[in-house]
Amino acid sequence: MHFRIDQWRAWAPGLDNTDKWLAWSRAPECLLDTGEQPDVSFLPALQRRRLSRLARMVFQVGWPLAEGHSELPLVYISRHGETPRSLSILQDLAATEPLSPTQFSLSVHNAIIGQWSILRADTSEMTALAGEGDGLEMGMLEAATLLAEGAPAVLLVIGEEAQPALYAPFIEDVPFPYALALLLVPGDDWNLQLHKGTGARAAWPHPLSLIQSLCNGCETLEHTWKERQWTWSRKIP
């Protein structure tokens, strides 16, 4: 797969601009999550009320990159999605409480891209994926296909929310909440290849490793998940 990353933005607790991500990438550490909300003040208050924290993360990183594009295909990836909202619904069921139709409709995996489409009045092709540990690369495959079909640009957004304590023994790949948006356009600046092989698990989830690479100007980056080895390489001017 060949492509160019035209722009990128990322958010995590306390990391809301490029300078802060540059500092984190030089000495990466697990961040303390105090529950702060991403800034989505560019949306009217009534529209913000319906957005979960994960949705706010997606909008915070993706919205500025979509400016100037009346139609922009979107690939959204999240392994765990709206887990906190889904757990709340399950707890209501267990307590025989009446379920909120709004809560249920917003808990499904494609709810965020539905909200995105409505608020931006954009009916471009949009896809919601739930991949494994290499969901980022699976999303890149989907985005590269759209570019190959003639899309002038594709917005890829991947995000994970803090997981409920109840799920802590089962979910260990979200060290802290984060979201990453990439505005992808045709080009050969980057090359992404897949090979069969095994290796050590990366210290950080793949999106966070990619942010480190973008900040530090690395020429190559390898991600391994199970028997899939992904190699990112780019041309450095």
Model confidence pLDDT, tens digit, residues 107-159:
899 999 999 999 999 999 999 999 899 999 999 999 999 999 999 999 999 99
pLDDT of residue 203: 87
What pLDDT is recorded for position 46?
86
3.90.470.20, 3.40.710.10, 3.40.47.10, 3.40.50.1100: CATH of 2-190:
3.40.47.10
Confidence of residue 53 (pLDDT cuts 50, 70, 90): very high
Sequence-ordered list of residues with C-beta below 8 angstroms from that of 91, at least 6 positions apart, any chain: none
Q: What is the pTM of this model?
A: 0.94
Q: If pLDDT is split at 50, 70 and 90, which confidence band does 201 have? A: confident
Contacts 24+ apart (CB under 8 A), 213-220: 214/5, 214/8, 215/18, 215/21, 215/22, 215/25, 215/26, 216/25, 216/26
Q: Would you say residue 200 has pLDDT above 90?
A: no
